[in-house]
Amino acid sequence: MHRGKPLVENHDDAAPERARLLELAQASRASLASLSAMLGRNPSYLQQYVRKGSPRRLEENDRQRLAEFFGVSEGELGAPALSSRRSSAEEFLAVPRLPLDASAGPGAVGSEEISFDSFRFSRRWLREMGLEGADLSAIRVEGDSMEPVLRSGDEIFVDRNKRAGEGIHVVRIGDALHVKQVQASGPELIRLVSANEAYAPIELAREEVEIIGRVVWKGGRV
């Protein structure tokens, strides 16, 4: 009796990982095309990987994202054993991206602080940037009040360990987040200054302002 073509062609030692990916996708009712789109790939990327073994193995970033999505270990999707590579925990730090837009303008309402993605940076780079030991979160800037220092769409790293002193900080006023230059204005006052001179400084009582952390790095499109 003809049983048809197997879902996963077993012609290399990565077939178990491909079969596991297909099993996880089917269990979560997620199509391979939608998972490919989540990775920023063309719709047939995972289809080709599962059915034909092309690419032979998933790239590390793709494997990590899929493992996080399914809630499984990267080993189930073909990650090398720790004995054959240096531990990611030793070499890299994942900086969570939070869906909290820090407004450089009227103010953005903060949502629940649950990471939806992450940046991975080498610990060596972080040391070179003076960020070793920082409690970092990444959020996106919206608005133009901090131009040209920060532009709308920039990703910024906020160090929650640095909440005192002057500098550019992310602050919460009520339910809204702002990114501003923070200056002391008096014993009980804080002055929030925009880089864009079109925006007037704001003076508030210290008790009205919650300092989330200092902006210590920025990145954005050229």
Tens of pLDDT, residues 16-49: 889 989 999 898 888 999 999 988 899 899 999 9
Max CA separation in the chain (angstroms): 87
What 77-80 contacts at long range (C-beta under 8 Å, 24+ apart), as own/partner pairs, is 77/17, 77/20, 77/21, 78/14, 78/17
Q: Please tell me the distance from the alpha carbon of residue 66 to that of residue 63, in angstroms, as a whole number.
A: 5
For the segment 54-80, what is each residue's pLDDT rounded down to a tens digit?
888 888 888 888 988 888 888 888 887
Q: Are 209 and 169 in contact (CB under 8 A)?
A: no
- Is the model's pLDDT at 109 over the cut of 60? no
pLDDT-derived band at 103 (thresholds 50, 70, 90) equals: low
pLDDT of residue 81: 63
DSSP lists the bridge partners of residue 193 as 181
Residue 97 pLDDT > 90: no
When pLDDT is averaged across residues 135-139 and rounded to a whole number, the result is: 89
Structural domains in the chain, sorted by start: 15-80 (1.10.260.40), 89-219 (2.10.109.10)
Answer yes or no: is pLDDT of 166 > 80.
Answer: yes
The pTM of the full predicted model, rounded to 2 decimals, is: 0.56
| DSSP code at position 60 | H
pLDDT for residue 115: 56
Task: Output phi, psi for 209, to 5 deg.
Answer: -120, 125
Q: Which two three-digit tokens encode residue 130?
A: 């003076």
Q: How confident is the model at residue 95 (pLDDT cuts 50, 70, 90)?
A: confident
Side chain identity at residue 115, one-letter code: S
Residue 169 corresponds to which amino acid?
A: H
